[in-house]
Structure 1
């Protein structure tokens, strides 16, 4: 059985889609054959005690492919007799692959890509580093056709490029989850609620939701907006809410515990995250696990058209894709879903069915396990 060293900065208790993805994959690999090497973050010690595999935390809050980190990773690999390494994000930690193979018994290296590697593929120096990562890894994964199209010219000729997407726990995220407690906690009552679960950063489009609520409130006067998450954009968003006189309409929760997320989705009637591409294509959405979690909960979903996000929604069937930054179209779609209960229910049910047949963890974890197995052991 392959013993795997997972090297990652993206690991709970930090919150985010990538963290959920990497941890979800880790917990579904054979845990007696896994060890994690990660950076540290507040609450890590308590979190690590509950994991079914050993977690080694570095003293830094951000692992980089430095000589010190390379030596530490090699030491952990030798101590645990690892023969495969998985990088939770290809860039930049995949640069460690060459040394790990040379110094240890590791024979198979797999690097997961998300959205930021697309930015690396566009910049000359970063593109060279990404190609170097690919040269020393046996498999580089991609999330969507969008990311594959942009990564393939850089890495496709030097390594095996294979799809590996998020998985969803369809029992945790389910139409049966109770959202009433969250509604009471935030004073939402029986109001129609648009919910957005995401880090508060400009790409995610929470500002567009705030702006669109002028349109929404004219058609649905009692509608409320629930923004779930924290991040560096929070101060600006709160100022925007105040400037538009929406303090009694928009709730910003700040960061919330991971185990409450399903209840927050369930508190909504519609899910929306109108993400947009920024910085001339360097800042894009890789896929968007929140769309999948919302669909699994039975909500109709509105996504922005950034990067691979449209591939997480079947437009017109599980929800809608809107142009990022198009406030008028976003507002119209929100009103449509808030005022047509039959339509919202139909899209939500189709989304739930899609999650149960296409996006479950078991077959995705099996795919990763095959990638991690050295060819001589297959």
Structure 2
């Protein structure tokens, strides 16, 4: 049986796209008959205990000053795993930072090294030495997997990596975790949503996510559909969150916009199902290189048969099939955001058709198992 090591700094119950990628692919490769192990960062005993409940072994890398010494800890972690008897045929590193600690070991022990590039970790501004390390690490890989065409283009244009070395493989979603449900009376009561049309953004409260653009579009939306509520998830202890709240006050939208805080993973599916339209008009912050590498949240909403609206920016173009699973909008065009929201809010039959197509698209080609199959079909894994 071929052995695969998923090597990831982030892993559930930690949240985020990289953690979801690692867990989704680990579970899927195991279903496909591979002997799978996961190597991840140790954060707390509670998280370690939760991870040990997985059907495959989850080993932990420990260490202080993680950001400065992660390459060393990665090297030690992989070497220790090999010495314990798990010699992988393939190591899949979910970020180049960790992969840098495994490049020498790949040559020594003869395993294939696959590096996943998501977006921000290769598009953000970085020092010349980090650029040098990134390029050296990516060139040392047997294969680079990019989650979007956008990210691939940036790896080629910004870091000089040969395009033939890069495979574009989109993110996936678990349709058994995200699916349509109708028993939501308790949640609707909690947020006082009876008789309301609901717009939702379920993501970290970061400027590039475009919450402010949706808030600016609301006055026009409310003039035509008065019973609209906008739910915004995420921790509210940042300057950006406070700016959003002030914008709501300035536009007299405090009753129409509700900041619902951090949502526990087990409640995500219910929250997606609360909405009539899911929106996240992401855009790139060019001064920092902060951008959306893909946007798994669009797939999660689609899996719940919800229509989605995303910014025509970054890797979102791979996440949304424009006009079919949702709509792409110019994130700085408030008029276009208004038009697409009104189209879906005023025409529930259109919203339903788009939402159903979104789930069908996922079941056909965007489950994690299908993504793992495509990786295995395209390149020798193991």
Tell me the TM-score normalized by structure 1: 0.89
Task: Determine the C-alpha separation between the residues in 1 that align with 2:65 and 2:265.
Answer: 20
In the TM superposition, what is the alpha-carbon distance from 1:356 to its structure 2 partner? 1.9
1:156-208 Cα offsets, whole Å, 9 max, x none, are 43973112221122233223464443222222123000011111111111122
Instruction: Give yes or no for contact 1:89–1:112 (8 Å, CA) kept in 2.
Output: yes
1:87-120 Cα offsets, whole Å, 9 max, x none, are 1122x222112222245x3511111110124416
Task: Determine the C-alpha separation between the residues in 2 that align with 1:27 and 1:61.
Answer: 30
In the TM superposition, what is the alpha-carbon distance from 1:234 to its structure 2 partner? 3.1
Task: Determine the C-alpha separation between the residues in 1 that align with 2:64 and 2:360.
Answer: 42
| Pair 370,311 (structure 1): closer, same or farther in 2 beyond 3 Å | closer
Instruction: Return 23-32 or 59-68, whichever deviates more.
Output: 59-68
Correspondences of 1:171-190 after superposition (within 5 Å): 171-176=176-181, 178-190=183-195
Instruction: Give yes or no for contact 1:192–1:269 (8 Å, CA) kept in 2.
Output: yes
Name the residue aligned to 1:250. 257
1:30-49 Cα offsets, whole Å, 9 max, x none, are 28722222223464134213
Name the residue aligned to 2:199. 194
Task: Determine the C-alpha separation between the residues in 2 that align with 1:328 and 1:54.
Answer: 51
**Deviation above 6 Å: which 4+ runs of structure 1?**
none
| Structure 2: 5+ residue stretches without partners | none
Instruction: Give yes or no for contact 2:103–2:113 (8 Å, CA) kept in 1.
Output: no
Instruction: Give yes or no for contact 1:138–1:159 (8 Å, CA) kept in 2.
Output: no
| Pair 201,271 (structure 1): closer, same or farther in 2 beyond 3 Å | same
In the TM superposition, what is the alpha-carbon distance from 1:143 to its structure 2 partner? 1.5
1:56 equivalent in alignment to 2:59: yes
| Pair 166,181 (structure 1): closer, same or farther in 2 beyond 3 Å | farther
Name the residue aligned to 2:167. 162
Task: Determine the C-alpha separation between the residues in 2 that align with 1:360 and 1:237.
Answer: 34
Residue among 99, 102, 111 paired with 2:104:
99
Name the residue aligned to 2:137. 133
Instruction: Give yes or no for contact 2:195–2:227 (8 Å, CA) kept in 1.
Output: no
Instruction: Return 116-125 or 17-26, whichever deviates more.
Output: 116-125
Tell me the TM-score normalized by structure 2: 0.88
| Structure 1: 5+ residue stretches without partners | none
Residue among 135, 151, 155 paired with 1:151:
155
Name the residue aligned to 2:94. 88
Task: Determine the C-alpha separation between the residues in 1 that align with 2:153 and 2:180.
Answer: 35
Instruction: Give yes or no for contact 1:276–1:305 (8 Å, CA) kept in 2.
Output: yes
| Pair 113,15 (structure 1): closer, same or farther in 2 beyond 3 Å | same
The number of residue pairs the alignment matches comes to: 373
Pairwise CA RMSD: 2.6
Instruction: Give yes or no for contact 2:4–2:91 (8 Å, CA) kept in 1.
Output: yes
Instruction: Give yes or no for contact 1:120–1:130 (8 Å, CA) kept in 2.
Output: no
SS at match of 1:279: coil
SS at match of 2:201: strand
Name the residue aligned to 1:230. 235
Instruction: Return 326-335 or 154-163, whichever deviates more.
Output: 154-163
